[in-house]
Structure 1
Amino acid sequence: MEAQKELLERIGDFVIEHGLGVNSANLAAICAALSGADAELAQAFTARELSGEPIDQRWLDTLARLDPGTNGRIAELEQLMDKLEYSLMRFAQTTKMAQDETSDHRGALGAQIEAIADVAAPGGMVAELDRVVELSRAVLERIERVEQAMERSQDEARRLRASLATARMEADVDHLTRLPNRRAFERRLVSAASEARSKSEPLCIGFCDVDRFKQINDRYGHDAGDRVLCTIADTLSEHASDQCFVARHGGEEFVVLFYGLDKQAALAKLDSIRRAQAARRLRDRFTGQPFGQITFSAGIAEVTEDSDTRSALARADAALYQAKAAGRNRVVFI
């Protein structure tokens, strides 16, 4: 109990010391590192502290996106959803088959009952035959109830499949900007990289980060910050083309995949979008005061330069750091 209390205190102190957000992803990473449950993560935290570099939200996000287990967890989730959808489909098929069979049996049994009743009627129905007809009608009623229950089950299966499809679609969308989210991007990156390599075509990735976003939040509030994120999302979407896939990667960071473009061409495309964003002006909706120029910095790397897709993420992130260090509001490639 004392050890747990001490660990909780250390985690709290760590969050406050480094000004990190209190969310499940951050707390899980910090707990794994400080407790030693994840040796590699603990080593990364120690090395970062010894180097004197900041342990900030961007660095934690970088750790998360470079985590080799991320794609595995996404794939596992996808497999579970596929299995659930398949089970629902099989359930609906089985229910429909049973419903068809009981319907056929019900029709044949009903016809047989009426035939027996017609034959027995002229001479007065024999008690034994009367009992057979009565039992048969009871069975027929039960079959009808089973058939109705199966129909309800089939309707429920259809509703569940529709809900699953909706949930699956929503799981790929960022609810603030309505762009594809990180989950959708990571799946797209894997498939796009595989296709680009098979066709020997270039594929570039660009990381975009809103400049001085924390200052915007601190000065104007989080509602204003949300408006800025939506504006950046709109700019990226409006100026992108069929050669681009735009997604929100998390926080104030966006990501763009450039199909068939090498680093120079991708830089030219993203830089034109950066200039378009820099030319826009926003105002505080309550005071009417201008926010000033809202810009982003970006880093670009070519995914197909080596066989490890994850290394392109690291290189693009390093290029983004260079763009920030060089004064922001610019695009750099590695």
Structure 2
Amino acid sequence: MTMLHGNFEGQAAPHNPGLFEWLFGQRKHAPDKQANDRDNLSVVERFRVRHLPLIEQVCEFLANAGLDPIPDHYELGWLYVAGTSGMQRLKIETHLLEYGRIDPVDAVKLLDDIRATMSERALSDMIEEAKHKIGEARATTEQSSRDAASFGINLGISLSDLGDPEKSKTAIVKLQKITAQMMERTARAEAELKNRAKTMGQLRSRLVQSQKLALSDPLTDLPNRRAFDINIKETIELARSKRQPLSIGFCDIDHFKSINDAHGHATGDRVIRYVADTLKKVVGQSIHVARHGGEEFALIFPDKTAEKTADILDNARLALNDRTLYARNTSAEIGHISFSGGVAELRCGENVSALLMRADNALYRAKETGRNKILIAP
């Protein structure tokens, strides 16, 4: 019996209490006071006055979209109501107009797309900032070089003056002056370069974090579909250059909608994380495992035939089947989790799209012929 961390039972908010009783556990509603009385309000009352309209809009969005009040859905609602980009709102509105609601799986995809777009924009901005900082550092270095050359010229002239006893005193004073000036300029340049080096270090950390956000799935911490698309192209080129086999696999959790319907979408998220962890553990670190969207995963197997890849995925499938899952806090039985898989091995001269299509077709056949199995594409 496997107890998954966290309570798998989704708890719906009661409908009878008012909004603030639900949010804060209080029956008292936002005070009806004039603006000039706000200095006398408590911290909680100030919060209510400022943020009640926005909170109500987010909650109204969740209700209209048919989404449960979980963190990711709140984030999607916030982006819709108060997002800084009109494109974010348009993307969500377009989906609502087309389908009338937002399925939780589609909510994940929408949020991932918006996060990736935001991360890409942040990456672009930071790259431009890095170019600007590098240009500034280069200018400082070039100015220091010119100052050093000027100092050398002045120093040479001053040394020639030292041979004349009458001019030596004046030359020494001049040397002291230009040396002091050079030391001051050098110290200033060093301080500027040190400050810019610190800024570039901070920028580098932000770039790494933003790149991770753009290429990773926030729910499972696996690479996302964008990262998979980049990796598969590079891996195919490497496999062909080394004349090695390469296979890919698609996995899709069986009856995932039933899990969501029976136990709530928070439970579904935990199941997705559990399957992701199982796949990573069974296939090993050398295999690229990505969340391809919703309850589907994509894997890249370098130097592996289709038969070997199918065996590895089957081990992961059996590892899941071997456990009965229960909610940690309620002991409610979730049952056995299984997935279906499709595997395709790269053919000579085959492009990425054709390879992915064959693996997807194999996955579809596995689903259509009983699920909980791995099939190899012909």
TM-score between the two structures when normalised by the length of structure 2: 0.58
CA distance in structure 1 between the aligned counterparts of 2:292 and 2:309, rounded to whole angstroms: 18
Please say if residues 211 and 294 of structure 1, whose CA atoms lie closer than 8 Å, have aligned partners that are also in contact: yes
Matching of residue 303 in structure 1 with residue 352 in structure 2:
no
How many aligned residue pairs are there? 278
Q: Which residue of 1 aligns with 2:98?
A: 14
- 1:80 shift after superposition: 5.8
After superposition, residues 59-208 of structure 1 pair within 5 angstroms as 84=128, 87=131, 90-91=134-135, 94=138, 97-98=141-142, 100-101=144-145, 104=148, 145=188, 148-208=191-251
Alpha-carbon spacing, 1:105–1:140, altered in 2? closer, same or farther (3 Å): farther
RMSD: 4.7
- 1:297 shift after superposition: 0.8
Please say if residues 297 and 323 of structure 1, whose CA atoms lie closer than 8 Å, have aligned partners that are also in contact: yes
SS of 2:215's equivalent in the other structure is coil
CA distance in structure 2 between the aligned counterparts of 1:241 and 1:203, rounded to whole angstroms: 16
Q: AA paired with 1:281?
A: T
CA distance in structure 1 between the aligned counterparts of 2:317 and 2:125, rounded to whole angstroms: 38
Please say if residues 207 and 316 of structure 1, whose CA atoms lie closer than 8 Å, have aligned partners that are also in contact: yes
After superposition, residues 183-262 of structure 1 pair within 5 angstroms as 183-241=226-284, 244-262=287-305
Q: AA paired with 1:16?
A: G
CA distance in structure 2 between the aligned counterparts of 1:25 and 1:158, rounded to whole angstroms: 33
CA distance in structure 1 between the aligned counterparts of 2:345 and 2:255, rounded to whole angstroms: 27
Please say if residues 251 and 296 of structure 2, whose CA atoms lie closer than 8 Å, have aligned partners that are also in contact: yes
Percent identical = 33
- 1:310 shift after superposition: 1.0
Alpha-carbon spacing, 1:299–1:22, altered in 2? closer, same or farther (3 Å): closer
CA distance in structure 2 between the aligned counterparts of 1:104 and 1:195, rounded to whole angstroms: 49
Q: AA paired with 1:97?
A: T
- 1:134 shift after superposition: 8.8
CA distance in structure 1 between the aligned counterparts of 2:93 and 2:231, rounded to whole angstroms: 40
Cα displacement string for residues 117-157 of structure 1 (whole angstroms, at most 9, x for unaligned residues): xxxxxxxx99xxx99x9999789767755653443233212
Cα displacement string for residues 232-260 of structure 1 (whole angstroms, at most 9, x for unaligned residues): 11111111136522121121111111222
Q: AA paired with 2:138?
A: T
CA distance in structure 1 between the aligned counterparts of 2:133 and 2:234, rounded to whole angstroms: 26
SS of 1:238's equivalent in the other structure is helix
TM-score between the two structures when normalised by the length of structure 1: 0.64
Q: AA paired with 1:165?
A: V
Q: AA paired with 1:254?
A: F
Please say if residues 252 and 296 of structure 2, whose CA atoms lie closer than 8 Å, have aligned partners that are also in contact: yes
Q: Which residue of 2 aligns with 1:280?
A: 323
Q: Which residue of 2 aligns with 1:314?
A: 357
Which residues of structure 1 form unaligned runs of 5+? 1-7, 30-72, 116-124
CA distance in structure 2 between the aligned counterparts of 1:237 and 1:14, rounded to whole angstroms: 36
Please say if residues 288 and 299 of structure 2, whose CA atoms lie closer than 8 Å, have aligned partners that are also in contact: yes
CA distance in structure 2 between the aligned counterparts of 1:315 and 1:305, rounded to whole angstroms: 14
CA distance in structure 1 between the aligned counterparts of 2:204 and 2:94, rounded to whole angstroms: 45
SS of 1:261's equivalent in the other structure is coil
CA distance in structure 2 between the aligned counterparts of 1:80 and 1:265, rounded to whole angstroms: 41
CA distance in structure 2 between the aligned counterparts of 1:297 and 1:101, rounded to whole angstroms: 66
CA distance in structure 1 between the aligned counterparts of 2:209 and 2:139, rounded to whole angstroms: 23
Please say if residues 148 and 182 of structure 2, whose CA atoms lie closer than 8 Å, have aligned partners that are also in contact: no
Q: AA paired with 1:286?
A: N
Q: AA paired with 2:131?
A: S
Alpha-carbon spacing, 1:170–1:21, altered in 2? closer, same or farther (3 Å): closer
- 1:331 shift after superposition: 0.9
CA distance in structure 2 between the aligned counterparts of 1:170 and 1:203, rounded to whole angstroms: 28
Please say if residues 126 and 203 of structure 2, whose CA atoms lie closer than 8 Å, have aligned partners that are also in contact: no
Q: AA paired with 1:238?
A: K
Please say if residues 206 and 298 of structure 1, whose CA atoms lie closer than 8 Å, have aligned partners that are also in contact: yes
Higher relative contact order (CA 8 A, sep 6+): 2
Please say if residues 103 and 147 of structure 1, whose CA atoms lie closer than 8 Å, have aligned partners that are also in contact: no
Q: AA paired with 1:87?
A: K
Which residues of structure 2 form unaligned runs of 5+? 1-91, 160-168
CA distance in structure 1 between the aligned counterparts of 2:104 and 2:328, rounded to whole angstroms: 29
Of stretches 293-302 and 16-25 in structure 1, the one that deviates more from structure 2 is 16-25
Please say if residues 303 and 312 of structure 1, whose CA atoms lie closer than 8 Å, have aligned partners that are also in contact: yes
- 1:220 shift after superposition: 1.7
Q: AA paired with 2:145?
A: E
